[in-house]
Amino acid sequence: MSEVQKQAPIVCESVKRFYQQGDVTVKALAGVTLTIESGEFVSLSGPSGSGKTTLLNCVAGLDIPTSGEVYLIGNRVSQMSKSQLADLRLRSVGFVFQSYNLVPVLSAQENVEFVMELQGISRTERAERARAILQEVGLAGMEHRRPAELSGGQQQRVAVARAVASRPQLVLADEPTANLDSKTSGALMDMMREMNAEHGITFVFSTHDKLVMSRARRLIKMHDGLIESDEIQS
């Protein structure tokens, strides 16, 4: 693989991840080779235990492959220190979780500003960015509400706003619509597709949701720790 190819947001080369459960070796990833290019909008699907969440965790450097190599935005993850990896995630990767992971004592705007504050962005700029992105996700006027004062769909919109406000190159989303009704899920996915188109952010979703799969432009299906199919959708 050329050095140019390794500059893609995600490159996996023969990635394996094995776990021990008693006397049993669980092959969560059995040898995944995959490249995701800049600006893609990708769904990782498959039954529980297929390896999709483990693959996301290995890509993000949250889990360590048993063998193989992961390149994250041109960086060989296995050669990075914990602090280097944490800094790369802070600067270049946004995360959206099934459980939202909002800070309950912070307002919607403060939650969106949180990553930017860690990045050292000035108070004025992060406030301006946070208000603009909350308006973009349909939450204008709700900036000062805390998570408990928002619906599940609104909380997930805040989570997406937080993930993209810091202008990452890549957003990794693990089951982002799992707790949402189909109407809210559809609106959320349409919003992320617009962000993908307008800002060029690469999105990768781990999902069981057929609605998410239908919105994806590239659909990767996993089974038993391997890629079963990989196709572009029209």
Nearest of 216, 234, 167 to residue 52 by alpha carbon: 216
Q: What stretch of H or E contains 210? A: helix 210-215
pLDDT tens profile 113-159: 998 999 999 999 999 999 998 988 889 999 999 999 999 889 988 99
Q: Where are the domains of the chain?
A: 5-232
Contacts of 64 (CB under 8 A, 6+ apart): 17, 58, 78
The arithmetic mean of pLDDT across residues 158-176, rounded, is 89
The arithmetic mean of pLDDT across residues 93-121, rounded, is 91
Confidence band for 2, pLDDT divided at 50, 70 and 90: low
1 pLDDT higher than 60: no
4 pLDDT higher than 70: no
How many C-alpha atoms does 91 have within 13 Å on its Cβ side?
8
Q: What stretch of H or E contains 206? A: strand 202-207
Q: What mean pLDDT is reported for the chain? A: 91
Strand bridging mode 93-97 / 75-76: unpaired
| Whole-number percent of the chain with pLDDT over 90 | 68
Q: Looking at domain 5-232, which CATH architecture does it have? A: 3-Layer(aba) Sandwich (3.40)
166 pLDDT higher than 90: no
Residue 68, pLDDT score: 97
232 pLDDT higher than 70: yes
Indicate the SS3 state at residue 190: helix
98 pLDDT higher than 80: no
